[in-house]
Structures are given as C-alpha cells and as structure tokens.
Amino acid sequence: MSDDLRPVLGCYWDSVVKSPNIDQLASRSQVFLNAYAQQAVCAPSRTSMLTSRRPDTTRLYDFKSYWRVHAGNYTTMPQYFKSKGYFTMSVGKVFHPGLPSNFTDDYPYSWSIPAYHPPSFKYENKKVCKGEDQQLHANLLCAVNVTEQPGGTLPDIESADEAVRLLRSRANSSAPFFLAVGFHKPHVPFRIPQEYLSLYPIEQMRLAPDPDVPKRLPPVAYAPWTDLRKREDLGKLNVSFPYGPIPKDFQLGIRQHYFAAVSYMDCQVGRLLSALDELGLAGNTQVVFLADHGWSLGEHGEWAKFSNFDVATRVPLIFHVPGVTTHSHSSGKSTFPFIDVLEKSEFSFKNHKEIRNMVELVDVFPTLSALAGLGAPKPCPDVSLQEELCTEGNDLADTFQHQEVGEDEKAVSFSQYPRPSDTPQVNSDVPDLKDIKIMGYSLRTWDYRYTLWLGFNPDTFQPNVTDVHAGELYLVASDPGQDNNIYNLSDYSMIVRKMAGLPPTVSLQTRLKLQLLYLTAGRKT
C-alpha cells in the first residue's frame, strides 16, 4: 500500500513517471483503471478499506476516534484472514497509527504479532533537509543524501527490509500468511534519496494542465492545502490564503519531487516482489497493490488530497493471482526480477487484463477473501452498526475470469468529504468531527462526477438531504479534468420535490443516483 499515490504509473498510461517494478507486477495482474477511495484522507480511507465499511458507518472522518468504540466492533480484513488460520503481519503505514487504530494498529485483533513501524520515521518532519543556505530545515522539498540522515536510512527502506525479513521467516512455514506493507511515499514531505531527482530534470517538468481554480467551483469544494503552508520552504514564500497561487518554479519543483518519490517507492516494491521470487513464494502468493487516495499536483489550484475530485479519490488497484491473472510460476524462471530504475532507462510492459468499470476500495476485502477461497463476507444491511462481519463493497472475483466487459453504466463509486463551512478555512482540509457542518457526497459514473454538498449533523452522523449548500456536475468525456461545473442550482428545486416522495429508508447512495438521472436526462446523446 502506498500513501497519497494517484495513478501516475506506467501501467496507468502515464508517460512521465518511471515505475518499472509496479508495471511489471501489473503485466501479470488484473488492473482496475477506475478505482476510487471513499474519503481522500489517510485514516478514514484506510479504515474503510480494511473494514469494507464507508465513512458514515465507521463514523471516522478525521484522526480522532477508534471505530471499535466509536461506531461498531467491525471485523477487519486481516482479522478475517487471521480467524481462518493465517499468520497476519503489518509493516509500515497500513492502519493509520495513533488513535484511529487504538495506538496498536488494531493489535491483537488484526495481527498475529505487533505491527512494525520504521524507527527513522520519527525524523520525517524534523529539520533534516539541507537548504540552499546549507542549514537544516523542515522543508517540503527534501531530497537528501541518505548516508547523512539519522541512522543512515529512510522509513520506506526500513519497511522494505523488515518486510523481506518477515517473508524469510514464513518461507518454510506450513501456515498461510497475510503480510500488509505500507510505504509512506509519495506522502509529503518529499524526503527521498536525492539521486531519484535525476530521473526528472526540472527543465522537463510541466505545470498541471488546469492550474487555476475553476470559475464555477463552489468555495466549499476547495481544499486550501494548509499542511503544505506549514513547511519552511513554502512558508517563506508567503503564498496568500486560501487560493495562492504558488510561484510556478516552486510548482515545478513539487511535481518533480512527487514523481521522484513515486520512483523511489517503486524500487522498494521491487525489492519486496523479488524477495517472493528468491524464496520460492511467487507461484502461490497473491499480491495486491493499491493506495489510500490520490493527491493534487496543481490541478484546480490545489496541492493536496482533501477533495472529491478524481485526482484526489482515484487510486491504483492491481491484483496478481497466480494461475488466474497469469500462468502458474515455472520453476527456475523469475516472475518479479528487481529492476533498478536508476540504472535502466527503457522499460516495456503491457497490461493484459484491464477493467475500466468503476470499483472502490471497500471492494478489496470481499474480493481478496473470495480469491483466497475464504468466501466473501455477506453484504451489509442498510443499517449495519451491529453487524461485526459484512461488506459495503462488492466481490469483484468474477471479473477475473473473463476479459474486459466494456462500459457498464450501472457501475458507480462513492466518495465523500467533510467541511466546517461554506468557504475555505484553516481547518477545511481535515476538520474535527465536532466542527463538521457540511458533507460533500460524490458519485462517479462512467460519464459523470456528481457531488452534492449537504448540511451535516456531527452528533447524529446524518446529512440533511434538503439542506443543499452547493452542487457539482462534470461531464467526464468532454471535461476529464473536471474543470467546468455544469450543475445549476435552479434545477434542484424539481429534484427536491421528487425526492420528497421517497420513503426515509431509501439510502443516500440511491438518492444520489436518482438525482443524477434527473439532472442528466436527455444530456447524453
């Protein structure tokens, strides 16, 4: 699992980023091209993925609660595997550490042994970045000489080391294992080995194609990237709040460092995959690669996650299933040879199995369970707070048995994001639960991105479907960047009348789908 990774990978047809190890995995995998997170911030997204419950069920929208006591005693994916006899292990950032996972990464419920966190992570936000003045700073752009860092290492290197060690410890065991490895990059700050910058010369960097705040973007939808403003190098530029913009040369530097961080993370993934080969485990080990959410690289004038746009919610999702997505491993033939991106410049991989339909991170738990032969949890009822084991996602295992089925207009993905007010505030990116006044519920179909910003009660965890603060509607075919909001609030009075006749038991997701049908009736030719 990668942190803050949008699908800027070769296997997702990105022509800039060099990611040969993940691309190699993808060439032997099922690649979901349109996978979406449930909330574009770490703790809520990871909790939703690992429990297969949406944020309104986990009741986690920030970093300040633990779902087992705050919402329900839900069974997690690793906990389910553990109950079926698997030895379960966690390395790096899998659950969000701290209060969202009870300061234990949900041990002993989810893991057979305590979770591992790389010791060098404690320096991540310290003054360890050498600036132009040759002094150490807590910078956003933080390419470093690794040998000069505390301990002479970096967190993702340590996590890869530990993951390989754990694989070796399980290689000769008769018990099946479940190993979750969470890499921190490309999450900010961009504290990465400096040599990876050479892959992305600054003179070859380009700005986002839509670097300006869209004219018809509702202010409630904008994420003011407060976290970045706290970094010393960006802070000294005195960028105006909330809309900026950041100077263009610094924008190019952010994009350069993000891409370099992706390539650095890709090499750690390669080390882990090649260990599967060396230990003879590649032929009977399923591998899933994903991210918790995306990250804006200047699109819409934003530099963060914290929104419902595709750049923040769309993630890579790759399933490698030996004997299903590829032929069984042949003795003596390497499945995942390590590729050093710093030493090789040309790469060529082809995805043989792609699925373009909309899927979600809540689908991972039921799908992986089914593929492992454990059986997917049953679908959750509309109200599932008392259900310890069920899924609000879909079992996608059937899609592994046939080729791409083409456009499916019934497939949808749901995301949401909370806000404290109608206009950007210093706490707009991650408001505490008590401060949430508005919730943006977003639906992504093949043709549209539709978002409705509704009044929200943080005491009851309920939106008011008649309290509409703003709306967004983007026609993806002609506006893939989601820059031209064609939602017209005057249309909504008709929808309110139609929705008033629905019984209260109709779910919010169903209401959004019906509203989108009304709004777009006759629009598609």
DSSP type of residue 29: S
Residues whose CB falls within 8 Å of the CB of residue 292, separated by 6 or more in sequence, listed in order: 1, 2, 3, 4, 37, 42, 45, 46, 49, 315, 361
What distance in Å separates the CA atoms of residue 339 and residue 274, rounded to the nearest whole number? 9
DSSP string of 158-176? HHHHHHHHHHHHHTT-SS-
CA dist list (Å): 316 to 48, 171, 256, 296, 319: 16, 28, 20, 15, 10
Q: Give the span between the Cα atoms of 449 and 446, in whole angstroms.
A: 8
Q: Which two structure tokens, joined as six digits, stand for 283? A: 């032929």
Q: Which residues contact 479 (CB under 8 A, 6 or more apart)?
A: none
How many Å apart are CA 305 and CA 297, to the nearest integer?
9
3-state secondary structure of 370: helix
For residues 431 and 442, what is the distance between their CA atoms, to the nearest angstrom?
A: 18
Which residues are designated catalytic?
42, 96
User: Under a CB-based contact definition with an 8 Å cutoff, are residues 321 and 371 in contact?
Assistant: yes
Whether the CB-CB separation of 425 and 459 falls below 8 Å is answered with: no
d(CA 143, CA 173) in angstroms, rounded, equals 40
Contact 118/167 with Cβ under 8 angstroms?
no
Kindly report the number of other CB atoms within 10 A of residue 157's CB atom. 21
**Residue 310 to residues 91, 359, 396, 450, 474, Cα–Cα distance (Å):** 28, 13, 21, 11, 11
- In DSSP terms, 91 is beta-bridged to 116, 181
Q: Is 322 helix (H, G, I), strand (E, B) or coil?
A: strand
- Asked if omega into 150 is within 30° of 0 (cis), the reply is no
Nearest to 376 by CA among 391, 359, 387: 391
Beta bridge partners of 353: 30
* Amino acid symbol at 102: N
Closest CA to 413 of 36, 5, 7: 36
Beta-carbon count within 10 A of 503 CB: 5
